[in-house]
Amino acid sequence: MNCNEIKDMLSLYMDDELNESEKLMVEKHIQSCDKCRKELEEYKDIKNLLQSLPEEEPPEGYCNRLHEKLLKEKSLKRTNRRWVKYGSIAAAFVLIFAVYAISNMGMGRGSKSENINYDMAATEAPQEDAGEPSPDYNQSDGRSAGKESTAIGYMSDEAKENSMLMTTAMPEKRKMKIIKTGTFVSQTENYDEFVNDLISKVSSLEGYIEENNTSVHNVHDNRELKYGNLKIRIPQEHFYEFVNYLEESSEVFNKNIKETDATKEYYEKDNRVKNLEIQEEHLRELFDKAQTVEETLLIENELRRVRTEIDSLNISLKDIDDRASMSTINLDIEEVLPTNFTLANKDSLWERSKEGFINTVNIIIEIGENLIISIISLAPILIPIIIVFIIVIFRIKKHRKNKL
């Protein structure tokens, strides 16, 4: 981010209204930019100075006088709007009456023009109907047709006028503010080549790479396997074109696309800005009319509050404009080794049988060796147990013989 964008965010940074990522960007920029760091320190000094100022009480009766002035301004504007409203309605009625009068004045000429039209129509009849008698249009028919034509023409003019008024009254169509974001996890066999091609593709789509972090995550046969995290900004109209490019140029394992409609939030803040600007203008008028120091200070504090809120809303509007015009793609790319598939030659039946027999014998030998090792290892325990077992059996046999 450049210095102008950071300066716009300094006030929000001081008020702790930025998210974690924006805070980190501001702090990182301040560490490397002496100019922005100096401006931040000046803001802090001004804030500390303003906080140290004692609060001044407004003069007695000032709030009532200010409230009365605002009510007067509001009533004057309401009266002006009422006159404009009623004047517009009266002008509309005059216009409709004039159109109606003009149309009635032209009704007498309708029969003549209509007779001419019918005569021309009879002259231009198809050739196959030339043998049939043409209809005889008398004067009364011409008059009735003329009245019908004039009425149709009047209705079409009125319809056109109504449609024109409706078009003027319709609000301007708002532009949608859709914020597109995407998160992808993919693998490639050649990291450097993929990143270079990716940078070229981003440039061709009039985008840019906001962040590019690369590290080595593994080493195999003296080859470094890299891992990268990229934050890419792409114009909204090229978002899905770039998504298709990623899926074609790498193996995508995870994909998450999100579209957020910020239209309502944007225009609510925009209307809030417009209302605050009107309020600021009224406060400046009152500031010019202030007669005492107390009144001046009170209005000045209110102006400062309104201007701070306007600046904050404008920064938020710029942020929405930026995210809506330039979509954001977070890409995690991992370099992997190419997979080689080779078919081994199958051995003959005799060789496989021989190999199986040898493996079985080796397993039996290994089991025997492990058993012998286990017996020898447990000898200090097994020998006393065997001796006791033999003695018990011998006594049991001797006891049975004595009973017999």
CB burial class (10 A; 0-12, 13-18, 19+) of residue 205? Answer: middle
Q: Judge if 329 and 233 occupy the same domain.
A: yes
Highest mean pLDDT among 168-177, 261-270, 380-389: 261-270
Q: Judge if 183 and 319 occupy the same domain.
A: yes
Q: Judge if 44 and 99 occupy the same domain.
A: no
Q: Which residue has the higher pLDDT, 13 or 130?
A: 13
Nearest residue to 230 via CA among 190, 189, 185? 185
Q: Judge if 180 and 329 occupy the same domain.
A: yes
Q: Judge if 195 and 332 occupy the same domain.
A: yes
**DSSP designation for 132:** S
Q: What is the pLDDT of residue 39?
A: 82
Structure tokens at 156: 């079409």
User: pLDDT band for position 289 (50/70/90)?
Assistant: confident
Q: What is the dihedral of CA 271, 273, 275, 279, to 10 degrees?
A: 180
Q: Judge if 182 and 307 occupy the same domain.
A: yes
Domain presence at residue 255: yes
Q: Is residue 319 scored above 60 in pLDDT?
A: yes
Domain presence at residue 110: yes
**DSSP designation for 81:** H
Q: What is the pLDDT of residues 84-111, one digit of tens each?
A: 666 667 666 666 766 666 655 544 444 4
Domain presence at residue 156: yes
Domain presence at residue 128: no
Q: Which residue has the higher pLDDT, 399 or 113?
A: 399
Q: Judge if 76 and 22 occupy the same domain.
A: no
Domain presence at residue 353: no
3-state secondary structure 161-210: HHHHHHHHHCCCCCCCCEEEEEEEEEEECCHHHHHHHHHHHHHHCCCEEE
Q: What is the pLDDT of residue 271?
A: 94
Domain presence at residue 44: yes
Q: Judge if 319 and 188 occupy the same domain.
A: yes
Q: Which of 53-62, 175-184, 333-342, 369-378 has the lowest mean pLDDT?
A: 53-62
Domain presence at residue 393: no
Single out the residue in 337, 366, 390 at which a domain terminates.
337
Q: Judge if 192 and 314 occupy the same domain.
A: yes
Q: Judge if 270 and 315 occupy the same domain.
A: yes
Give dist(CA 381, CA 271) in Å, integer: 91
Q: Which residue has the higher pLDDT, 330 or 154?
A: 330
- The pairing of strands 178-188 and 326-335 is parallel
Q: What is the pLDDT of residue 43?
A: 78
The domain total for the chain is: 3
Q: Judge if 180 and 305 occupy the same domain.
A: yes
Range of the structural domain that residue 84 is part of: 65-123+137-169
Q: Which of 49-63, 99-113, 175-189, 355-369 has the lowest mean pLDDT?
A: 99-113
Compute CA distances 92 → 95, 98, 104, 165, whole Å: 5, 10, 19, 10
Q: What is the pLDDT of residue 151?
A: 35
| Region 149-166 average pLDDT | 39
Single out the residue in 283, 312, 337 at which a domain terminates.
337
Q: What is the pLDDT of residue 85?
A: 60
Give dist(CA 156, CA 163) in Å, integer: 10
| Region 369-392 average pLDDT | 88
CB burial class (10 A; 0-12, 13-18, 19+) of residue 15? Answer: exposed
Nearest residue to 103 via CA among 159, 60, 173? 159
Q: What is the pLDDT of residue 304?
A: 92
Q: Judge if 204 and 263 occupy the same domain.
A: yes
Q: What is the pLDDT of residues 189-227, one digit of tens each?
A: 899 999 999 999 999 999 999 999 999 888 887 888 999
Q: Which of 56-70, 107-121, 280-294, 344-358 has the lowest mean pLDDT?
A: 107-121
Single out the residue in 293, 320, 337 at which a domain terminates.
337
Domain presence at residue 57: no
Q: What is the pLDDT of residue 398?
A: 82
